[in-house]
């Protein structure tokens, strides 16, 4: 059975979805929420409350790593790409090429970008920490303003047009 709850955050409304064992999705604002549609509202669920607490600590600058059971559903390649994202430390950025090299698939930058774009647990699985090889900010499922906010929160400077890391 799936459970969900919503919370307010500096990046807008977040909807968290969990099984009995692990967090399975994090939705921002009004994006499509297929897992939520299968879930029951539960504001007392242990994993959802822990996720909310840790996200609040992250947004307040008091948390740099998340300690939550995660179970994102995807293909084998997507799962590997998302696991690689968890290796990027707070405050650091990787290029899509570096992530592809980490996966031992150096020519798979586009596939990595596609997998990152389907990350079902953004922020916690930090796809916002991946940018273009020239420092250019590329797409983010939550929108570029959200990506810029998260990168700035983690100490990065972004140009005035919010297009590139300085």
Q: How many CA atoms lie within 13 A of 115 on its CB side?
A: 26
β-strands 2-7, 39-41 pairing:
parallel
127 is catalytic: yes
SS3 call for 42: coil
Distance CA 86, CA 126 (A): 7
Distance CA 125, CA 138 (A): 17
Identify the active-site residue in 14, 16, 17, 127.
Answer: 127
Report residue 9: phi and psi, to 5°.
Answer: -150, 170
List the catalytic residues. 127
């Amino acid at each position: 059975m799936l459970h969900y709850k919503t919370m307010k955050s500096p990046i807008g409304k977040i909807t968290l979805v969990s099984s009995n064992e692990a967090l399975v999705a994090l939705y921002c604002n009004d994006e499509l929420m297929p897992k939520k549609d299968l879930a029951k509202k539960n504001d007392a669920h242990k994993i959802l409350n822990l996720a909310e607490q840790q996200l609040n600590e992250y947004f307040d600058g008091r948390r740099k790593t998340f300690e939550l059971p995660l179970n994102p559903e995807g293909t084998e390649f997507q799962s590997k790409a998302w696991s690689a994202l968890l290796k990027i430390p707070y405050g650091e950025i990787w290029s899509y090429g570096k992530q592809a090299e980490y996966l031992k698939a150096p020519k798979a930058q586009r596939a990595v970008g596609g997998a990152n774009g389907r990350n079902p647990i953004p922020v916690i699985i930090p796809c916002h920490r991946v940018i273009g090889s020239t420092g250019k900010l590329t797409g983010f499922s939550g929108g570029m303003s959200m990506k810029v906010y998260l990168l700035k929160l983690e100490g990065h400077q972004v140009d005035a047009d919010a297009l590139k890391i300085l």
